[in-house]
Amino acid sequence: MSPPTPAVALLNREMAILEFNRRVLAQVRRPDVPLLERLRYICIVSSNMDEFFEVRLADYIEDARLPGAGALDADLETVARAAHALVDDQYKAFNDEVMPDLRRAGIVVISHAERDKAQRRWVDEFFQSQVRPLLVPVGLDPSHPFPQVANKSLNFIVRLDGKDAFGRENTISIVRVPRVLPRVIQLPARLSDGKQAFVLLTSVVRAHLAELFQGRRVEAFSQFRLTRDSELAVDDEEVKNLRHALRSGLTTRHFGQAIRLEVGQSCPRELSDFLLRQFALPQAALYAVNGPVNLVRLNALIDAAKAPALHFPPYAPSWPAAWPRAQSIFERLKQGDLLLHHPFESFDPVVQFLREAVHDPNVLAIKQTIYRTGGESPLMDLLLEAVRRGKEVMCVVELKARFDEEANINWAERLEAIGAQVVYGVVGLKTHAKLLLVMRREGTPKRPVLRRYLHLSTGNYNPKTARLYTDLSMLSADPKLTADAASVFQQLGSLGKTRPLHRLLQAPFTLHSAMLGRVKQVAQAARNGRRARIVLKINALTDVALIRALIDAGQAGAEIDLIVRGACLLPSGLPGLTERIRVRSVVGRFLEHTRILYFCWGAGAHNEALYLTSADWMSRNMFRRIEVAWPVRDAALRQRVIDECLIPYLFDTKDAWLQQGDGSYLAVGADGVSAQQALMERMQASR
């Protein structure tokens, strides 16, 4: 009897998230990426890091404060060092590569020292008319305590000499910069010397700080920015009205526990130490950066600059060839399921599906889940119109969709106000499933029948992100699949038990156990000497039970490929442990968001299954969310998913990264074949 295989130590989740952001930052150094898109990747890393501190590290720090968390404290120090190194690399790329290249391309950000007289005069007029009236410095003394500093807001700390107007020696003042002010300001063409010239608001305020303190001298100053824990604190068990509780919570979210302090690199030590004491932060929480403390706001420069050659070439998603534009979607779905691959194919057919349902007098009811739709949404406008036309409309609105709570509350209130049935899912479980169900009266007047039509998606009902994220969605009139969807909506509305589902797998009930069952089925096939194969394309792999099952299947002889965009805690390629498991990540022009699960446990189509899903393989998705997965049963559509969404990514040699056993990643190459580019070319050629 062979000795048992040693247990595999899993990777650290926070380090895995930072590794993903390193892969994003690597896009900045790719010469084939247009210059303004390189700057956009820097902004994306900044946005990702904000969320990392607001959410991920905030939870980690909370765990580190628990009794007996010594090992966790050591891990936290490792994570903090890695985060500092990543931020340093980000600003190095910004200062040494992107900004000099932009200057050579005729797009310049002009500091105060670089401005000529005419430019300084214009900036001064801008400050006096647009900025100064909104700035109110707060001098600190017993009657003026340290002001509230909102999450991610721009502020200045100033040290002054002399005495104030009342003869007191209060030396520290705080200047809050309102969010309503633009962070990037474009100079008029007449002052730009043939270039596109911009100034940053931080530079404008910095150049005029002294004017805010008449009669005193500014001895030292620095910009600073505080990142706070941004989880909404709502007790699901105690709250009586979730919408009202969240609406109230939104007003205090900006003032959660302090997590990170960013200051300018030239900030004097005594000022940064003062701020750290004020916010009760350790030295490791201080990030002294060589540039603006909020690089995310440079998205405004990207949008304002007129330089098409410095952007990715425009790509117009195609209308699916399988659906003639003039044909009713209801008639088309009677012929079979329809698959849409975004953003390579347009999201417009989804909007058209709902539009046709809204305007069809035979459609009686529409039900939809709402997770991230955005502040402006043609889909939400259509649902409002459906209510006005007298149709029964049910919306399951997820109020706790992180950072989209306010938009979702607003949509919920608008829908409720005109008579839609709005429910907020299940307390304690986020409704993350993407479902749109239409009920239509068909048949004859004497023998009417109700028929259901369904749209499911791996991504959100958001036309804007559908042009930036890769996702798959499916339209179907399959009676069992649509009946399952109707049961899910009934359950979310009534909170009652439903009959077993025919086609759909649903979290938190059957999805996790079904996936474990599939992985074990493949493992058993490998032990029996049959073909055994697993290919997963997901955004994150962190659920321990599923990871252990995959490791066991690999050790049994199954060949496993994991295409994981973000955090993956399974270390691949370890000799004798995970050598049959390969992990790759693809970072390209579009954000990889598609979730595909392929299992094979023998020869022939009857020994394979392919699912699409809204869920990643994370414990929160499996047990703390309402999620669905559905099988692609049509052989032609299943092969299409494999041909478009799995094989190209397994053979990507341009945008792909291979995970090493220690959790780091190596780029496959830079001059090979990009799966995303190949799909764009394929879709354009098929028009």
For residue 80, the SS3 value is helix
Please state the rounded mean pLDDT for residues 292-297.
94
How does pLDDT run across 342-385, given as a tens digit for each residue?
999 999 999 999 999 999 999 999 999 988 877 788 999 999 99
* DSSP-based three-state secondary structure for 214: coil
Question: How far apart (Å, rounded) are the C-alpha atoms in residues 335 and 319?
Answer: 18
Task: Say which of 342, 432, 455, 593 is annotated catalytic.
Answer: 432
* Residue showing tokens 């004097």: 268
pLDDT tens by residue, 95-118:
999 999 999 999 999 999 999 999
Among 358, 352, 359, 360, residue whose Cα is nearest residue 326: 352
Per-residue pLDDT at 8 exceeds 80: yes
In the sheet that 172-177 helps form, which strands lie side by side, from edge to edge? 138-139, 172-177, 154-160, 218-228, 258-264, 286-289
168 or 682, which is more confident? 682
Residue 123 has pLDDT above 50, yes or no: yes
Instruction: Indicate the residue type of 395.
Output: C
Are 312 and 34 in contact, with CB atoms under 8 Å apart? yes
Nearest 5°: phi and psi at 510? Answer: -115, -15
Task: Give the residue among 79, 69, 62 at the shortest CA–CA distance from 18.
Answer: 79
Q: Quick one: tokens of 602?
A: 């023998």
Q: How many other C-beta atoms are found inside a 10 Å radius of the C-beta of residue 619?
A: 14
Q: Are residues 472 and 460 in contact, defined by beta-carbon separation less than 8 angstroms?
A: no
- Model confidence at 419, pLDDT cuts 50, 70, 90, reads confident
How would DSSP label each residue in 436-501?
Answer: EEEEEEEE-SSSEEEEEEEEEESS-S-TTGGGTEEEEEEEE--HHHHHHHHHHHHHHHH----PPP
Q: What percent of the chain clears pLDDT 70, i.e. is strictly above it?
A: 91
For the chain, which residues make up each domain, given as ranges?
13-310, 329-501, 507-685
Phi then psi dihedrals of residue 579, to 5 deg: -70, -15
C-alpha angle 625/632/497, rounded to 5°?
40
- Above pLDDT 90, what percent of the chain? 75
The CA distance from 305 to 679, in Å, is 29
For 650-664, write each residue's pLDDT tens digit: 999 999 999 999 999
Reported CATH class of domain 13-310: alpha beta
Is 238 a residue whose pLDDT tops 50?
A: no
Computed over every residue of the chain, the mean pLDDT equals 90
Confidence of residue 76 (pLDDT cuts 50, 70, 90): confident
What's the pLDDT tens digit per position in 594-634?
999 999 999 988 999 999 999 999 999 999 999 999 999 99
User: Which residues, in sequence order, are CB contacts of 228 under 8 Å at separation 6+?
Assistant: 54, 151, 152, 254, 255, 256, 257, 258, 259
Regarding the domain delimited by 329-501, which CATH topology (the fold level of the hierarchy) does it fall under? Endonuclease; Chain A (3.30.870)
Both tokens of 121, joined, read 């005069």
Backbone φ and ψ for 649, nearest 5 degrees, come out as -75, -30
The yes-or-no verdict on residue 239 having pLDDT over 50 is: no
pLDDT band at 206, cuts 50/70/90? very high
Task: Specify whether 112 is catalytic.
Answer: no
pLDDT at 405: 67
CA atoms in the 13 A half-sphere facing the CB of 464: 7
Pairing of strands 218-228, 154-160: antiparallel
Q: Is the pTM here over 0.85, yes or no?
A: yes
What b/e string do you get for 555-579 counting C-beta neighbours within 10 Å, with b at 16 or more?
bbbbbbbbbbbbbbbbbbbbeebbe
pLDDT at 586 exceeding the cut of 90: yes
Distance of CA 503 to the CA centre of its chain: 29
The pLDDT of residue 161: 86
Q: Angle at the Cα of 676 (from 673 to 679), degrees rounded to 5?
A: 95
Rounded Cα gap, residues 500 and 30, in angstroms: 51
pLDDT tens readout for residues 429-457: 888 999 999 999 998 888 999 999 999 99
pLDDT of 1 reads 42
Mean pLDDT within 179-201: 96
Residue 167 has pLDDT above 70, yes or no: no
What pLDDT shows up at residue 388? 95
> With 90 as the cut, is the pLDDT of residue 247 above it?
no
CA distances from 246 to 54, 207, 239, 250 (A): 18, 40, 10, 6
Task: Tell me the longest C-alpha to C-alpha distance in the chain.
Answer: 93
How far, in Å, CA of 346 to CA of 353, rounded?
13
Pick the CATH number of 507-685 from 3.30.870.10, 1.10.287.3510, 3.30.70.1230, 3.30.360.10: 3.30.870.10
Q: What is the mean pLDDT of residues 629-644?
A: 97
Over the stretch 510-560, which tens digit does the pLDDT of each residue have? 999 999 999 999 999 999 999 999 999 999 999 999 999 999 999 999 999
The reply to whether 507-685 shares the fold of 329-501 is yes
